[in-house]
C-alpha cells in the first residue's frame, strides 16, 4: 500500500538532535498552537519581548495557511533552515487540527524539510499514527519526572477535554498519557527527545531516575533544561539551577541516554541557527504574515473512494481502513488510480472525520456506500463533497467530474447513522 508522502529528508541535518551541524543548519518554529491543556508552575505565556528566548513566547499566532506563507519567506531569508517545527506557544495537541494541517501543508510543499513537534504529551497518543504518516520524524516530549508524588508539585492543573484535574490525580494522568505516547512513537520509528525541566528542590534529584526509565522505552536523546524563573508564576521565587548542578545532572543522566548540551530554550517563533536566532529580525515578517487572509482553496484534482475490492463503491465510511485515490487520466479520457492512502483506525468520532479531511485534502469528493450526518458536515465544511452511492467506481467518478447523473447513483434513504442506527458495524460512524 502506498503512503501519502514518500519524501526522505536528511535527518542528520536536525541541529537540535545533532550538535555537529548546529552551525550549518537551522530551524524555524511556527506559532500555530496558542492553546494549552496543562498549567506548569514555571510557565508564563503573557509576555513577549524580542530579547526573550524561552518557550511559550511568540510575537503572534499564525493559521496553517499563513504558516506556509511565512515558511516561504523564511527560506528565502535563511536557506540553511532544515527543520520546521511547532512548539507552541501552547501545546501542539491542544491545537491538533492546526498542528496537523500545518505539518501536512509543509510536507506537501517542502518534502525535503525535517518536520518536528514538541509536546507535553497529554494529547499526543491519539495522533501518533497521523503524525508518523505525514512524515514527522522528530518529537520532543517534556517529562519532568516519572513519580507522580514529585510531579504533582509542578502542575497547577491538567485539563483533559472538559475535565480539570489537580494534584496527584493530574500528575498520574499526565504521566500515563506521556508513557503511552512515547511507546507509540517508538513503535512507529519516530526519533524521540525528552525535555526534563530541572527545578531545584522539586525534581532535580529525580533526573537520573527519569532518564533511566526513558532509556528503557527506547528514547533517543535526553535534555536536562534549567528552569527559568518567570514573574507571576508559583515558581517565580525559585533560583535557577547553576551550571555546576546542570553539569552534574547531565553527567549522571548520560549513563543512560545521550545528552543534549546545546539547547537554546527556544521561543515558539524561533528562527535561524542555534545560538544565532533571528526572531527579532523576522518579527515584522511574521506579523505581516499573520494579517494575510486565508488563501482560497486551490483546485482539488482527485476523488477518494471507499471500496472493498476496487471495483464497486461498497464500503461504509466509518469502517474503511484505506481510500483509493483517483484522478483523471493523462489523456483526459477516463480515470486512473493514483494511489492508496491508509485511513485512521475506525472509531474516534469527530476527531477521525477531521483527520480524514486532512488525509484527503486534495480530493474534491469522497465516495462511500454510506456515512452519518457528522462526517457529512465535517467534509462539507472542509470543501470535500460527501457522496453516498452504490454501483461501479467508474460511474461515480464520471458523475463527480461531470456533475451529471449523480442522483441516480445515490443510495435510497434508509435507517442511517444519524437516526440512531448504523448500516455498518458501528465502528466509527460518529
The CATH number for 34's domain is 3.20.20.70
Domain contains 297: no
What pLDDT was estimated at residue 420?
41
On whether both 25 and 164 belong to a single domain, the answer is: yes
The closest of 146, 152, 136, 150 to 93, measured between CA atoms, is 136
Kindly state whether residues 126 and 211 are assigned to the same domain. yes
Instruction: Please tell me whether residues 270 and 338 are part of one structural domain.
Output: no
Q: Are residues 161 and 136 in the same domain?
A: yes
Residue 48 included in any domain? yes
Chosen domain end from 290, 313, 344: 290
Same domain, 57 and 206: yes
Final residue in a domain of this structure, among 237, 255, 290:
290
- Give the tens place of pLDDT for each residue, 214-232: 999 999 999 999 988 888 8
Domain assignment present for residue 2? The answer is: no
Backbone conformation region of residue 289, classed left if phi is above 0, alpha if psi is from -120 to 50, else beta = alpha
Query: What is the per-residue pLDDT across 165-182, written as a single tens digit (0 to 9) for each?
Result: 999 999 999 999 999 999
Assigned domain for 380 exists: yes
Q: How many CB atoms lie within 10 A of CB 413?
A: 8
**Per-residue confidence band for 51, with pLDDT thresholds at 50, 70 and 90:** very low
Q: What is the mean pLDDT of the chain?
A: 85
Domain annotation covers residue 24: yes
Least confident of 51-65, 128-142, 169-183, 369-383: 51-65
Residue 316 pLDDT more than 60?
yes
pTM of the model: 0.74
Domain boundary among 290, 315, 335: 290
pLDDT of residue 264: 66
| DSSP one-letter string for 152-170 | TTTEEEEEETTEEE-HHHH
On whether residue 4 sits in a domain, the answer given is no
- Is residue 225 located within the same domain as residue 141? yes
- Helix, strand, coil shares of the chain, percent, nearest 5, are 35, 20, 45
pLDDT at 116: 95
User: How far is the C-alpha of 175 from the C-alpha of 214, rounded, in Å?
Assistant: 12
Task: Mark whether 141 and 253 lie in a shared domain.
Answer: yes
Claim to verify: residue 87 and residue 133 sit in the same structural domain: yes
Distance in angstroms (rounded) separating the CA atoms of residues 226 and 328: 56
Of 168, 112, 172, 181, residue with least CA distance to 142: 181
Residue 61 neighbours by CB distance under 10 Å = 20
CATH number of the CATH domain containing 325: 3.30.420.130
Q: Tell me: pLDDT of 272 over 70.
A: yes
pLDDT of residue 55: 64
In a domain, 429, yes or no: no
Q: Are residues 154 and 276 in the same domain?
A: yes
Considering the domain architecture, whether residues 131 and 274 belong to the same structural domain is answered as yes
What's the pLDDT band for 8 if we cut at 50, 70, 90? Answer: low
Q: Are residues 314 and 267 in the same domain?
A: no
Does residue 171 share a domain with residue 41? yes
Question: 3-class SS at 209?
Answer: helix
Query: What CA–CA distances, in Å, run from 157 to 108, 160, 182, 299, 331?
Result: 37, 10, 22, 44, 59
pLDDT value for 206: 95
| Mean pLDDT, range 186-190, rounded to an integer | 95
What pLDDT, in 10s, does the model give residues 329-376? 877 678 999 888 888 888 878 888 888 888 888 899 999 999 999 999
SS in 3 state form for 248-314? Answer: HHHHHHCCCCCECCCCCCCCCCCEEECCEECHHHHHHHHHHHHCCCCCCCCCCCEEEECCCCCCEEC
Q: Looking at the domain assignment, is residue 100 inside a domain? A: yes
| Structural domain total, the chain | 2
Cα–Cα distance between 120 and 264 in angstroms, integer? 18
- Rounded Cα distance, 364 and 401, in Å: 9
Could you tell me the pLDDT band of residue 297, with boundaries at 50, 70 and 90? low
Strands 363-368 and 385-388: parallel
Share above pLDDT 70 across residues of the chain, in percent, rounded to a whole number: 88
- In which domain, by residue range, is 385 found? 302-419
Amino acid at each position: 500500500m502506498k503512503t501519502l508522502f514518500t519524501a526522505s529528508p536528511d535527518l542528520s541535518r536536525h541541529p537540535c538532535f545533532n550538535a555537529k551541524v548546529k552551525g550549518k543548519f537551522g530551524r524555524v518554529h511556527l506559532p500555530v498552537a496558542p492553546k494549552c491543556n496543562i498549567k506548569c508552575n514555571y510557565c508564563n505565556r503573557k509576555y513577549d519581548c524580542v530579547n526573550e528566548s524561552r518557550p511559550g513566547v511568540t510575537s503572534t499566532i499564525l493559521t496553517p495557511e499563513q504558516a506556509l506563507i511565512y515558511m516561504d519567506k523564511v527560506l528565502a531569508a535563511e536557506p540553511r533552515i532544515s527543520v520546521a517545527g511547532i512548539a507552541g506557544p501552547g501545546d501542539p495537541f491542544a491545537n491538533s487540527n492546526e498542528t496537523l494541517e500545518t505539518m501536512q501543508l509543509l510536507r506537501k510543499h517542502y518534502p525535503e524539510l525535517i518536520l518536528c513537534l514538541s509536546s507535553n504529551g497529554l494529547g499526543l497518543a491519539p495522533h501518533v499514527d497521523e503524525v508518523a504518516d505525514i512524515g514527522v520524524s522528530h518529537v520532543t516530549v517534556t517529562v519532568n519526572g516519572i513519580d507522580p508524588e514529585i510531579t504533582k508539585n509542578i502542575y497547577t492543573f491538567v485539563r483533559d477535554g472538559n475535565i480539570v484535574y489537580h494534584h496527584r490525580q493530574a500528575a498520574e494522568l499526565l504521566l500515563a498519557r506521556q508513557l503511552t505516547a512515547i511507546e507509540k512513537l517508538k513503535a512507529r520509528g519516530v526519533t524521540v527527545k525528552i525535555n526534563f525541566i530541572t527545578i531545584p528542590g522539586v525534581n532535580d534529584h529525580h533526573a537520573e531516575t527519569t532518564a533511566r526509565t526513558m532509556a528503557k522505552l527506547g528514547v533517543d536523546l535526553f535534555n536536562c533544561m534549567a528552569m527559568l524563573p518567570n514573574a507571576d508564576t508559583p515558581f517565580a521565587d525559585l533560583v535557577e539551577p547553576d551550571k555546576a548542578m546542570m553539569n552534574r545532572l547531565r553527567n549522571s543522566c548520560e549513563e543512560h541516554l545521550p545528552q543534549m548540551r546545546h539547547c537554546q530554550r527556544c521561543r515558539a517563533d524561533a528562527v535561524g541557527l542555534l545560538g544565532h536566532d533571528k526572531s527579532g529580525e523576522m518579527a515584522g515578517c511574521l506579523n505581516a504574515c499573520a494579517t494575510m487572509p486565508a488563501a482560497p482553496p486551490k483546485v482539488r484534482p482527485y476523488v477518494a473512494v471507499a471500496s472493498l475490492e476496487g471495483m464497486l463503491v461498497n464500503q461504509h465510511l466509518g469502517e474503511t481502513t484505506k481510500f483509493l485515490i483517483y484522478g483523471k487520466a493523462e489523456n483526459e479520457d477516463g480515470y486512473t488510480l493514483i494511489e492508496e492512502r491508509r485511513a485512521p483506525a475506525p472509531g474516534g468520532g469527530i476527531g477521525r472525520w477531521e483527520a480524514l479531511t486532512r488525509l484527503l485534502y486534495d480530493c474534491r469528493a469522497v465516495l462511500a456506500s454510506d456515512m452519518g450526518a457528522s462526517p457529512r458536515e465535517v467534509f462539507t465544511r472542509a470543501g470535500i463533497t460527501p457522496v453516498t452511492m452504490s454501483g461501479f467506481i467508474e460511474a461515480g467518478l464520471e458523475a463527480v467530474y461531470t456533475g451529471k447523473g449523480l442522483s441516480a447513483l445515490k443510495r435510497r434513504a434508509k435507517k442511517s447513522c444519524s437516526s440512531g442506527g448504523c448500516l455498518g458495524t458501528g465502528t466509527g460512524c460518529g
